[in-house]
A and B are shown apart, each in its own frame.
Chain A
Amino acid sequence: MSPRSTRLVLALAFVALSASAAAAQPVEPAANVQVSAPDNDDGRHVNVAFDRAEPNKDPKAGVVTVLLRRSATAGAAVPAFGPETSIEAKSKLGDWTIAAFLEGGEASFLDEVDESGRYVYAVVEVRRDDAGKVLSASPPVLSAAIAPNAAWFHTKRVGILGIVLLIIGLIGYYIPKARKNPKDVYIRRMPGVDAIEDAVGRSTEMGRPVLYVTGLEEIQDIQTLASLLILGHVAELTATYDTEIKVANYFPMTMVVAEEIVRQGYANAGRMDAHRPENVMFITAEQFAFAAGVNGIILRDRPATNIYFGKFFGESLLLAETGFLTGAVQIAGTAELAQLPFFVAACDYCLIGEEMYATSAYLSREPTLLANLKAGDGFKLLAMIFVFAGAVLATAGVYQLGPAVFP
């Protein structure tokens, strides 16, 4: 035999021996399989954790973990794994279902299960070849039976619930006080809100309409809600002053509610005859197309007053600058931090964050709403005290108090 042929035969023999060695090499099983129901769970999850053998943790070993699940009432053993066994997630092996196929070395998995079931898990370590076929598998390690646990209260949110209850308590405290002596409830002046009536009067004198933009979020957003509450007051003002109001909306649902609110505002002022439903418009639900549409209204109809209340994004400056070009008085209010600088720069008045939420109460002057404002202010005072105390504690190196209250 030539030297070249000898080398070829030896190489082929080595490859064959290696392949058979890999196939024959046993896989060490996992250990300590623990199952538990997670805390604060909806009752549809089970956590499975286990310890992998050290040789299996080596990525070069090519060992993956297969997690199987069956109902606790069925008593079948785990079927043997052969070369043709499918180990993809959700595959069925008799009474067992493959819950997960972990090939990243994970030692735990959060399984999603039916809320009414009781389950047993099995962990099998599997060695595969490059094509994904099973070469060998460890003996299965079974867990105890477990049923998921649905919690009725989220214990980690008790801090937030406390804050909400505290605010409700403060509202309950201030309402009787406000009803008894409404004049004693001091609310500082907000020039931006005071300017709304002046601006509407200006529009009346100039014979030009008022434009109201409700923001670029859906109606369930709190800023849109606050905007619609203010719209009611503005609509009543425009009806009283006999000025046209045009309302531009980003979502049709907001348009539907806005139309009803404007109609109600006109009814409150006794001017149902002056109400024009076509003035409450749905423009479009695309951001810059909306900006283009509203800019078109501003440049065409030349409103004397532009009011922007709600949630705005990148188009805020497009709207405000176009309004500035037409010489309109502009009043804006948003809680979007990124857009506040643009509104402050381009508008005559800007209501920042909580001022927008307070506007409805400020305009109506109802004792219950003013009490709500006072409750918010009372909580802010408490928050300031907590922030100061927290800063002092953090400076002193005390960090355990925060996680204890807000886990």
Chain B
Amino acid sequence: MKKLLPLVFGMLFGLYGLLEFYIPHWAVRTTTDELQAWAALLTAAAFILGGVNILQVTWPKIRRREEDWHYKVILLACAALMVVVGLPWHKLGDADEAKLSQAVVGGTSGDGGRIVIAAPDDVTVTIGAITAPALAGGKAFALDLPAGETEVVLSRRVAGYRSLTTKVNVAAGQIVEVRGDPPMTWGRDGRVFVWIYDHVFDPCNSTMFALLAFFVASAAFRAFRARNAEAALLLGAAILVMLGRAPLGRSISDVFPDFGQWLIDIPNNAGRRAIMMGAAIGAIATGLRVIVGLERSHLGSD
């Protein structure tokens, strides 16, 4: 049973996946969408297991003070921090109405009215088609407009803040002050999470990516050596393609860019397609042998 059940499940769902590619009927599509939703749930649940695994692997190393244990402390601390700032704490807070208010503060002459904004200087105001900073050069934003109802939106330029929207009814000759401060949000789109991602994670990611340039140079230095005929061919092709791509090659002769492109379009493409076809056939064969139960090495020996 321990081997039979996984085999049966594998065969059933594998055959379904194989057949549903050829059956466009909505009943099959609906079932497929449902199965994919189940798979997404399983994947999400697996991330909890992943978090537990990180703790199980890391904590004993910290306890035993193994090599580089302090990096493990930083790892766990950062993970905990991101969990805390990734929770939507703002949903536990006050309603938006408490952060946005409006009041008639004076009068003006004419048939229309005026809206005056009282907000910090990093807040942007949008009234109809007009967008402007709430405070510029020490002066609060003010707009004369016809009497009637108008929508006012206060938002911040940086990510991680919720925008505030209100409808302001300006009577003729009125000056209405709208006071507001868009609140910071938490969670995945919150200010702290986005700031840490932009200012900590992204630079670290870019640093690792940048290391590739040096590793490519070191790998090329080792690989492009004419030890035998094939290696000499590889070296020659690499030189010709690099000359074709660099401005230096074109300044020497127009033949280099054309020949380099020919090398990429014809012989290289032929090899790529051969590998792709072989890999595709291998993938079909592998998939079929898992689906029909020929491959059982992952289930254990008899």
A220 to B36, CA, bound (A): 11
Judge whether A151 and B25 touch: CB under 8 Å: yes
Interface string of B255-297 (1 = CB under 8 A from A): 0000000000000000010011111011111111110001101
By the criterion CB–CB under 8 Å, are A318 and B211 in contact? yes
- From B26, B60, B286, B294, give the contact of A222 (CB < 8 A): B286
Q: Is A23 an interface residue (CB 8 A)?
A: no
B67 is an interface residue with CB less than 8 A from chain A: yes
Closest to A257 in B: B298
CB-based contact B18/A164 at 8 Å = yes
Q: State in angstroms the CA–CA spacing of A296 and B72 once bound together.
A: 11
**B108 an interface residue at 8 Å Cβ cutoff?**
no
Known A-B contacts A229-B295, A357-B285; A255 and B43 likewise in contact (beta carbons under 8 Å): no
Q: How far is the CB of A166 from chain B (nearest CB, A)?
A: 10
Q: Chain A 269-283 against B: per-residue CB contact (8 Å), 1 yes, 0 no?
A: 000000000100110
Given contacts A255-B50, A314-B212, contact A358 B284 (CB under 8 A): no
Q: Across the interface, do B297 and A233 meet the contact criterion of CB distance under 8 Å?
A: yes
Chain A 34-54, CB within 8 Å of chain B: the 1/0 string?
000000111110000000000
Q: Indicate if A321 sits at the interface (CB-CB under 8 A).
A: yes
B278: chain A residues at CB < 8 Å are 353-354, 380
Question: Which of A278, A317, A372 is the one whose CB lies under 8 Å from B56?
Answer: A278
* Size bracket, chain A contacts: 35 or more
B218 within 8 Å of A by Cβ? yes
Bound: A318/B208 CA distance, A: 8
**Is B49 located at the chain interface by the 8 A CB criterion?**
yes
* A317 CA to B204 CA, complexed, in Å: 18
Q: Is B205 an interface residue (CB 8 A)?
A: yes
Question: When the two chains form their complex, are residues B49 and A256 in contact, meaning their CB atoms are under 8 A apart?
Answer: yes
| Set of chain A residues within 8 Å of B53, measured between Cβ atoms | 252, 255, 281-282
> Complex: how many Å from CA A167 to CA B18?
14
- Report the separation of the CA atoms of residues A289 and B67 in the bound assembly, to the nearest whole angstrom: 19
Question: Which residues of chain B from 56 to 85 have any CB-CB distance to chain A below 8 Å in the complex?
Answer: 56-57, 60, 67-68, 71
A383 to B278, CA, bound (A): 10
**Cross-interface CB contact of B281 among A40, A256, A300, A376, cutoff 8 Å:** A376
Residue of A232, A289, A353 with highest tally of chain B CB at under 10 A: A353
| Complex alpha-carbon distance, A109 and B105, angstroms | 54
Residue of B46, B218, B283 touching A335 (CB-CB under 8 A) = B283
A169 vs chain B, min Cβ distance (A) = 11
Residues in A neighbouring B54, C-beta threshold 8 A? 281-282
Q: Tell yes or no: B301 within 8 A of A by CB.
A: yes
Kindly list chain B residues whose C-beta atoms are within 8 Å of the C-beta of A211: none
The 4 closest A-B pairs by CB, nearest first: A252-B50, A354-B282, A357-B282, A353-B279
